[in-house]
Each structure stands twice: as structure tokens, then as C-alpha cells.
Amino acid sequence: MKVLVCDSISARAIERMRKACLVVDVRDQITPDELLAAIPEYEAIVVRSRTKVRKPVLDAATNLKVIVRGGVGVDNIDIEYAQAKGVKVLNTPGASTHAVAELAIAYIFALARPIVQATTSLRAGLWEKARFEGCEIAGKVIGVIGMGRIGTAVAQRAAALGMLVLGYDSQTVGPAPYMHMVELDELYARSDFISLHIPLTESSKHMLDAAAFARMKKGVRIVDCARGGILDEQALYDAIVSGQVAGAALDVFEVEPPTDLRLFELPQVIGSPHIGASTHEATARIGDEVADLLIGANQEPCE
């Protein structure tokens, strides 16, 4: 089976696949136009969040049998169209859980204690001690929207830090000793911090809009390590300027890389370029799971 790796995975995973007699080409900086030209040669492709597999790519992929998404979300793939063409879509949902959950917790700390802004101030040669008084997270209420693997991991860590955890999920979620499941309006009204952990779908797009921010507790802090587009970035900007939202930490954006950086003109906003799963450990786990899936899918004998 001939495999095209479009986004970076571990060298160990590439070696494992080649030892299992897969023909693997690594083009982890491939452009959309280059992918369209190259895809007819391949029976399998590996993507992460950078590469989009939409209808034009799938129409050109005359030999494609399987797409493997290294990571959780598959919103960068037209799944229904792929499946209609007989192409399997697989992912590695558990491999990046710890990495993303830990980034969300790091952002909660960084919003409570303005570490990023204080570092910037020091680098400018200033000593603005009085400017950077923060708050403690122990005893604060965190609302976790989406109680899948990552949301659950965030809830467990937040509870261990002494936070009261409120959870919301549109699906039925059983009780847990470290959190209380509530309706969305109650979560908005009570939460000092809100962390997003849901996929981007038609129903979740701009779920956090101007009306949602208005229903939240004044001074709330928002963390989004899930998907860009779940929150309305213009509405978030307005809510921060008005003082309704005290701060936000964003790892994901509606357009990546973002073309509108007005949010980052606000000192209350910190962010990163979609690095939730970017740890040595998560990269290794993702690579291993990708290799397992493709080796398992290969129907050709190894000579």
C-alpha cells in the first residue's frame, strides 16, 4: 500500500510502516495544489489539522482507500463524501488527550495570573508589580463544555486543583464525583472560567456568540483549545472591550493562520498557533496509533 504523509508524524511511526512493507512518502509541507496533483498515486493518506481533505481532493483520489487523521477532530475531512466513495476515515482520538487537557489547564493558570503579560513587561525593562495582581483558581467555578475524553481530563485536573467543576454536554453523561452536570444557562451564569471541548459542527458554530457572552457571569475567562469557529471572534472582542469577559486564551481560530489579529491587540488575550497536541509524548502516541491503523489496513503481503 502506498501512503502519503501530508503532516508531520514521528520518525518512529514512519520507520514502523516501512518495515511493514508500506511504501511511505513524507511530504509534510505539501500545498493544496500539490496534493491535488499527487493524490491519484496513493491508497492511503495521513493528515493532522493542517491538511484539508475536501471534495476536490477526494474526486482526484482515484486509488484512495483510507484516510487517517492523526488526532481527535475530523472536521478537516469531508467524511460523508469520503465514505460515499468507499474511503474509510480513521482517527486517533485518545492519543492527544493529556496534551490538550494540560494546555487548557496551563491557560487557566495564565489567565488567573498574567504570566505572559508580566514577562512582556519585564522584557521591555519595566517593573510593574502593582499591574499584575491576579486571582487564585482554588475555589473558583470552571464550566467545561463537552465531556468527552479531553473535557473529562480537564474536569479531573481542575477538581484536583480545588475548583468547583460544572459540566455540560449535549449528549447524556453519567454522574462523576469531581463535577456537577448542569444546563448551559446555569454553567454560563456561575462559571468564573469556561473551557471548550466540543467538535465544530453546524450546531456548535458560533455557539459562543454575543448573546451567550451576555448570559455569562461578568468577568468570566474563556479557554478554547477545541476548534476555531465555536466562538464568534468578533463577539469575543466586543465582550472583552466592554468588560463582560475578563480574558481569553485561544489555541484555535476560525481561520488558521488567523488573518484578523485584532483580538491580540487586547492585553487580556493570549494564544498559541494550534499547539494543543504538540508534545513529544503526544506526537509519539499519535504516530504509533497511525502506524497501527495503516499496518492493520494493509491487505498486501509483505515480501
Q: Which of 149, 197, 227, 285 is catalytic?
A: 227
Say whether 227 is catalytic: yes
- Based on the residue annotation, tell me whether 256 is a catalytic residue of this protein: yes
CA distance 200 to 72: 12
Q: Which of 183, 256, 281, 300 is the catalytic position?
A: 256
d(CA 52, CA 31): 10
* Interatomic CA distance for residues 238 and 242, integer angstroms: 6
Nearest to 49 by CA among 206, 229, 223: 229
User: What would the grid cell of residue 86 be?
Assistant: 468507499
Query: b/e map of 275-289 (b: 16 or more CB within 10 Å)?
Result: ebbbbeebbbbbbbb
- Selecting among 221, 274, 285, 289, the annotated active-site residue is 274
280 is catalytic: no
Active-site annotation, residues: 227, 256, 274
